[in-house]
Structure 1
Amino acid sequence: MLEFSQKNVTSLVTSLLVYLCNLQAIAQIDVTYPVNRMVIQRSNANTATVQIAGSYAQPLDVVEARVVARATGQGVSTDWAILQEKPIKGQFNGNLSVRGGWYRVEVRGLRNGKVVVTDSVDRFGVGEVFAIVGHSNAQGSGCTVNGVNLCPSMPGATDDRVTVVALDQTSPDFQQYLNTADTRYLPGLVFSQLQTFNGMAPFAKMAWFWGHMGDVLVQRINVPVLIYNAGFGGTNMEHNYKAAYDIPFTHSFVRYEQRMPYVNLRNLMNLYVPSTGIRAILLNHGENDRENPADLILKHHYGVIDKARQEFNKPDLAWIIALSSFTGKPFENVRLAQLQTINRPGYQTFLGPDLDSISSVADRPDGAHYSPLGQAKAGERWANAITDDILKKITPYEAQQQPLVRIDCATNRQLQLLPPTGSDYSWNTGNTSQSLLVGTGTYSTRVRSVRQETLFPPAVTIVNKAHSLVWDTDANSSPISLPETCTFYVQNEVYNCLPAILPSN
């Protein structure tokens, strides 16, 4: 037997306390939700319930949060408010009511009435969320006249508040997406300012006129705007209709077997919209529908709108529809169908811009696509068409609360992470199993629910710290006698786990 005297124990405990004090130097709190540059949909009262969540690595009595407007007049800062009292198992989670604006999110943890840890998210917005559906004049395109591209994209947004999920169409993941239409190959909640060529998930590679539209709109309504782009050049409403209802069609490059082009709308609605909410779909179709009669074009519009509302369980999902048919001239059969869709009573469809009036050769060098001059006009007209009156008439769908990952104790100084039940899982480590054994690090996953919606539980940050000494014997006197092959334990106060440590003999 080894005999530990009071002096031995005091020395050992002192050494451990020094070790633990050194660990305290790296104590932290980590805000993992919302993520940087995320924008969520505001209500018609210009507010949103903002979920704020993350990890902490030392015992805390309370976690508080506030938002601070990034510029004067671009939001309403809040006072510190309690997010969660007595958080457990290394995670905090709570809600804050925030008015429309562009903010820095600040979080602090308190212990015994004192602030001991802080963290922040640099940019976060409560504003408007839109999704684009259309052909090349929605997705972005070039136009070659006499060997010269006269339709290069306009520059991206100049206002910091125009936001997208960036998309690199040259990446291997996007090539896999083209082959599978699986959302696992699209970016997750990774937001950035809309730049000229950083792309817009799920399917656009350039800013086109949407950056300018975003600039004009943001400066008028004074809240951030998040834009998704499901446009697919060379398509029409008939292709969307048939893909939505699984009616086969042939096309030289649109892959029906992947349910393109409608699948892009399906994917953004399932992948992103549960986390961000949405105000409306912006429909920028028409030029490629000109060969169909008006009644058939109308059927395709109703069919796609009805299918989207039913499939995503959003019966009042609004559509703002451009009058757009110009290919050398306007086509009245297309415009008639668009106007009938817009004017259908109680149908939650609204008049967008009249793009057929952008018709000069300078605006459309090839008779269809926009030059930068034409793009500037189209972007401005789209922004002006999304009027305050239309926004008031649309009841938006707000962001859903994201569930937390469960943290359990495991063996070998590890923890087990268990997200909510779903049909498949994609961890940032590459694992695809539901549960994950982890040590120190930051871990995130996306979970596809049985309804095909994607959940993004707030990421979990694990730091091996915040311990207290616990003996594995019943002895409480001094000296303490321990067997030669004894173990004692250091108990983690955050996760309440007992990783074994073997002392020197």
Structure 2
Amino acid sequence: MIKTIYQAFFLCIVPYFLQAQFIINSPMTRSVIQRNAANRAQLTIAGKAPGTAATIEARLIPMVVGQGTPSDWTLVATVNNDQTFRGTLPALGGWYRLEIRAKSATTVVADTAVNRVGVGEVFVIAGQSNAQGGIATDVPPAIDDRVSCIDFFQRDQIDTQTFPFLFSHVSAGASIGPSNAPYLWGILGDSLTKRLNVPILFLGAAQGGSNSTEWANSAAAAPITLPYQRVSATLLYYISRLGMRAILWHQGESDSGISEQTYFNNVNSLITKSRQQLSHSRLAWLVSRASYISGATNSQVISAQNRLSHEVADVYAGPATDGLIGPDNRVDDIHFGGQGLVRVANLWNQSLTDLFFSQSIPFTPSADTIWTDAGWQAVTSGTAFSSLQRVGYRYESSSHNFFLLVGSSSPVEGRLERLDSGDFTDTSWSVLSPTASSGYANPGFSDYGYLRFYAPGGVSPGRYRLSVRPVGDKGTGYQLETVLHDFRNTLFIGNEPTPPVQQGDLVIGSNLDLPQANFAAPGSVGNFVVNVFEVAGLPTSTGNVQLTITVPVGYTLAFAPTLTSINVSGGDHNPIVVTNGQWKVSQSVGARQLTLTMNLGAFIRGGGKSSLGFNITRTSANSGSTSFISVNAKDDLTTSYDDNQSSNVYVRIISGL
């Protein structure tokens, strides 16, 4: 048996996934949908089909074997008159390649896929700077591919009209939008994926320097203001579509002089507000015990934080961090850094106990609200070239420092143009430097292979066009227009490399069950069973598997689709249960050869088998003759499921006495 793999690359043009006019709006690559208490979620699949399509089918294949449960082809939607479609696909927790195909009757007219679609755990991070991050510079990335974020940052104001739906890996330089740096969250994400074996999505809604009174007052304001606006916008814009497990709250350092009751009331009002906004009265919060700042702690704050987890339903105790002091833990006697990041992440992991995951009630959105194509996107023109993987920038509005960042499998040129009334003259094309040798080898640029640096003072805030093209190309390139925001922002994700995805494997082997293979006289009948095994752990394609059986001259072959059990000639374990009802005869050659195809909707489960019962009758075979039965199992002509035929053929001797 040889297991086969293939390498696939896909183009994701925000917010659509497009192949030959087969457009997928939902879900987006690297998105994570919150699973429910039963480890399940409903994936909304929406888009636009080719003109001849009538139905849409989809299935899930784990990106890595063991990181999810594969599903078989399932009908998810009927195509509307305007060629749009929308439906849902049940999914268990995991990290998947979502395969989608459009069909006209039984003919596949188009297919496509979205890599890295997650069903797992979603968290919102809120509080002040030790939740937000940005102070520590030596920040490790998430190692596990399954830790996601939305790579954008809004510092001074929240504008949901420019909230993207473009998901990224939590790398060292990524922003955890809308408001956080990567900080310790990539470390925590790795710990959680290892423990839970599901993907993790973090959304950042913290604000440095904020105190609990500011949070409470902003939540009560009409309209809602900062800092609570960061949480409010995240809940209403992202969580309403994706779902979530809990809010992770770390705040208290800025509340010197506050009374225990005031702090309790302030944070309790935020908990109540968030639950009202989602109409989910049991939305979980984890509240850190945190008050340390520059050598001082506050027992009133700690007492209030303890009371919240003891007295308010569905509030759980987060990490106690006041004991993490000294230069090995805090870079400035306030903010965590170095090994302190690892230690705080470990404390968060310990607080997110198995009991918490079993008791907390996640918010899961209804199918009517899961629309992941509603995000803002940079205005684009031109065509994304095949080697282009991602485009973004890092910006500091205070100094006008600007980095144009491009991920590409080949060298690129880039330029920047001002679109509003501001002054900017450096608009020429230039070859971007490889990041590793540019002199600006910031760990935050590790997922971008090329960059161009614009010196401080040159790029003032405003609206700009970022253009990229392959070196040697003389065209206008692929262009993205955007208003600049601070820190790192990803505008485009294209051909992101993917790991090999394992295909399934059918095996006949020696599984033809006919212990008594001798036919004594003309007219004698032998009953036998063919077992078709799937051995790679992936279910077969619905209705595609074919089985061809050929008997020699002098014998005939019969198959009854209504048969449910059979007594194998000479068998020791009769009767044998068979699944003939899953199959139909699709072709016959005389009475000596039958080709059977699995019925639409029937499939062989990963690691499972299908057993078929047949009858062989000796007609004119000579006495003393020796001949062969041959059995061949395969996928359809596209071999989209199993292109390894070496293990799919079996030959068995039969004799006429």
TM-score category (smaller protein)? 0.5 to 0.7
Structure 2 match to 1:198: 174
Residue 34 (str. 1) matches residue 27 (str. 2): yes
CA contact 1:290–1:333 (8 Å) conserved in 2: no
Separation in 2 of the partners of 1:223 and 1:302? Answer: 30
Question: Where do 1:11-410 residues align within 5 Å?
Answer: 27-85=20-78, 87-142=80-135, 151-167=136-152, 169=153, 174=154, 178-179=156-157, 181-186=158-163, 188-204=164-180, 206-246=181-221, 259-327=225-293, 328-344=295-311, 347-402=313-368
Alpha-carbon spacing, 1:321–1:426, altered in 2? closer, same or farther (3 Å):
closer
Alpha-carbon spacing, 1:258–1:98, altered in 2? closer, same or farther (3 Å):
closer
After TM superposition, the runs of 4+ consecutive aligned structure 1 residues lying more than 6 A away are: 425-430
Q: Tell me the amino acid that sits aligned with residue 137 of structure 2.
A: P
Q: Tell me the amino acid that sits aligned with residue 324 of structure 1.
A: A
Aligned residue for 2:367, secondary structure, equals coil
Instruction: Report the Cα offset of residue 92 of structure 1.
Output: 1.8
Aligned residue for 2:175, secondary structure, equals coil
Q: Tell me the amino acid that sits aligned with residue 137 of structure 1.
A: N
Separation in 1 of the partners of 2:79 and 2:274? Answer: 42
Structure 2 match to 1:408: none
Aligned length: 360
Alpha-carbon spacing, 1:426–1:357, altered in 2? closer, same or farther (3 Å):
closer
Note the aligned Cα RMSD (angstroms).
Answer: 2.4
Separation in 1 of the partners of 2:280 and 2:207? Answer: 23
More RCO (CA 8 Å, sep 6+): 1
Aligned residue for 2:322, secondary structure, equals helix
Separation in 2 of the partners of 1:84 and 1:185? Answer: 31
Instruction: Report the Cα offset of residue 52 of structure 1.
Output: 0.9
Gaps in structure 1 of 5+ consecutive residues: 1-25, 143-150, 248-256, 406-418, 431-505
Instruction: Report the Cα offset of residue 308 of structure 1.
Output: 1.9
Q: Tell me the amino acid that sits aligned with residue 332 of structure 1.
A: S
CA contact 1:63–1:108 (8 Å) conserved in 2: yes
Q: Tell me the amino acid that sits aligned with residue 271 of structure 1.
A: Y
CA contact 1:64–1:81 (8 Å) conserved in 2: yes
Structure 2 match to 1:487: none
Aligned residue for 1:45, secondary structure, equals coil
Separation in 2 of the partners of 1:290 and 1:89? Answer: 60
Aligned residue for 1:350, secondary structure, equals strand
Deviations 1:58-112 (A, max 9, x none): 2123211001001111000001111124543211221111000000000011224
Separation in 1 of the partners of 2:279 and 2:347? Answer: 31
Instruction: Report the Cα offset of residue 184 of structure 1.
Output: 0.8
Identity between Structure 1 and Structure 2 (%): 30
CA contact 1:325–1:331 (8 Å) conserved in 2: yes
Deviations 1:473-499 (A, max 9, x none): xxxxxxxxxxxxxxxxxxxxxxxxxxx
Aligned residue for 1:202, secondary structure, equals coil
Q: Tell me the amino acid that sits aligned with residue 190 of structure 1.
A: L
Q: Tell me the amino acid that sits aligned with residue 129 of structure 1.
A: V
Separation in 1 of the partners of 2:175 and 2:79? Answer: 42
Separation in 2 of the partners of 1:272 and 1:404? Answer: 9
Aligned residue for 2:208, secondary structure, equals coil
Instruction: Report the Cα offset of residue 127 of structure 1.
Output: 0.3
CA contact 2:178–2:204 (8 Å) conserved in 1: yes
Aligned residue for 1:288, secondary structure, equals coil
Aligned residue for 1:396, secondary structure, equals coil
CA contact 1:61–1:85 (8 Å) conserved in 2: yes
Instruction: Report the Cα offset of residue 115 of structure 1.
Output: 1.6
Instruction: Report the Cα offset of residue 140 of structure 1.
Output: 0.5
Bigger fraction of residues in helix: 1
Aligned residue for 1:97, secondary structure, equals strand
Separation in 2 of the partners of 1:273 and 1:190? Answer: 14
- TM-score normalized by the length of structure 2: 0.52
Separation in 2 of the partners of 1:333 and 1:88? Answer: 63
Aligned residue for 1:357, secondary structure, equals coil
Alpha-carbon spacing, 1:344–1:372, altered in 2? closer, same or farther (3 Å):
same
Separation in 1 of the partners of 2:34 and 2:370? Answer: 21
